[in-house]
Amino acid sequence: MLQSVLSIRKDSWSIDYTPGIMARSMFFYVQSTGHFNCKPEYMTDRQDYNTMLLIYTLNGKGYLRYRDQTYILNPGQGFLIDCMDHQYYSPYKNGDWDFKWLHFNGCESRSYFERIYENHGPVFELDSNSIIPGHMEEITRMIKERDYRIDAISSSRIVDMLTELLLDHYKSGQSTSDAPDFIRQAIIRMEDEFSLTINLDTLASQVGVSKYHLSRVFKKYTGYSPYEYVLNYRLSQSKSLLKSTDLPVYTIADKVGFDSSSHFIKLFRKHEGITPLKFREYWR
């Protein structure tokens, strides 16, 4: 479905790019890019388009409706969306909207987007050190100049931009060293007692907060839910034991807190891509 009113001024432009089959299979790749200086009548109402869209506002204001939420885009603000979902965007309240945009896809684009969306929604704010404007300019220049390096370089630039947006959640210097005391206490307890069953209600009670508050703030400062953190810690401990001991797999599974060796093997293979015994072989 697509409805669009392409009401743009003469200084607007767009350029399409078609990467080769090999590039599409290996890289993040550019599909199109442009600069739209929109009149008040401009709008896009669309879904089921297999692409990611990155927009940032230069002047005026934009309006975005996406996943049942609405957003206002001021200068210096932008959004990243998956265009398979329904989206509607236009200038805000019959004003002007001047923005630059990039359509891209490939590799783990959708996974990156979902993690970014989970952290802070689709909207972001560019600061003075943002790499995004410069990288988008470089991609545009390479397309126009037919630079043969574009597939590899643009893939790298897209990853850089997505990583900036992913880490935008932590701009205030958030890390476990900056975390509230109850988060540090929770981490100490989880690591000290990793081989035991971790009950979130009990853990929250021990550090003096609700389990909902603990879960939300824990992820804010560590990037993981408490369950994910414990699981990763257990797997790390199991790898150390596989490397340094001859203990059977079922013994290691028990020592690091898994309820069965089959469950341990399944999760180990999911995370590492190989079985515990194969992992041990690589280190012997």
Contact 96, 38 (CB under 8 A): yes
Instruction: Report, as an integer, the average pLDDT of 247-276.
Output: 94
pLDDT tier at 174 (50, 70, 90 boundaries)? Answer: low
Burial 10-44 (b: 16+ CB within 10 A, else e): eebeeeebebeeebeeebbbbbbbbbbbbbeebbb
pLDDT tier at 173 (50, 70, 90 boundaries)? Answer: very low
Quote the radius of gyration of the chain (alpha carbons, Å). Answer: 24
Express each pLDDT in 40-76 by its tens digit. Answer: 999 999 999 999 999 999 999 999 999 999 999 999 9
Predicted confidence at residue 168, as pLDDT, reads 77
Instruction: Report, as an integer, the average pLDDT of 184-208.
Output: 92
What 8-state DSSP symbol labels residue 93? Answer: T
Distances (CA, A) of 69 to 2, 77, 211: 19, 16, 27
Contact 107, 113 (CB under 8 A): no
pLDDT tier at 249 (50, 70, 90 boundaries)? Answer: very high
pLDDT tier at 149 (50, 70, 90 boundaries)? Answer: very high
pLDDT tier at 193 (50, 70, 90 boundaries)? Answer: very high
Q: Domain 176-282: give its CATH architecture.
A: Orthogonal Bundle (1.10)
**How many other β-carbons are positioned within 10 Å of the β-carbon of residue 105?**
19
Predicted confidence at residue 5, as pLDDT, reads 76
Flag whether pLDDT at 117 surpasses 70.
Answer: yes
Predicted confidence at residue 223, as pLDDT, reads 78
Flag whether pLDDT at 3 surpasses 80.
Answer: no
Contact 250, 238 (CB under 8 A): no
Q: Express as a percent the part of the chain with pLDDT over 90.
A: 81
Q: Domain 2-170: give its CATH architecture.
A: Sandwich (2.60)
Tokens (6 digits) for 134: 């410069």
pLDDT tier at 191 (50, 70, 90 boundaries)? Answer: very high
Flag whether pLDDT at 171 surpasses 60.
Answer: no
Predicted confidence at residue 87, as pLDDT, reads 96
All CATH 1.10.10.60 domain ranges in the chain, comma separated: 176-282
Flag whether pLDDT at 2 surpasses 80.
Answer: no
Contact 11, 39 (CB under 8 A): no
Amino acid at residue number 103: H
Flag whether pLDDT at 172 surpasses 60.
Answer: no
Average pLDDT, the chain: 91
Flag whether pLDDT at 246 surpasses 90.
Answer: yes
Predicted confidence at residue 165, as pLDDT, reads 93
Q: Express as a percent the part of the chain with pLDDT over 70.
A: 96
All CATH 2.60.120.10 domain ranges in the chain, comma separated: 2-170
Predicted confidence at residue 23, as pLDDT, reads 87
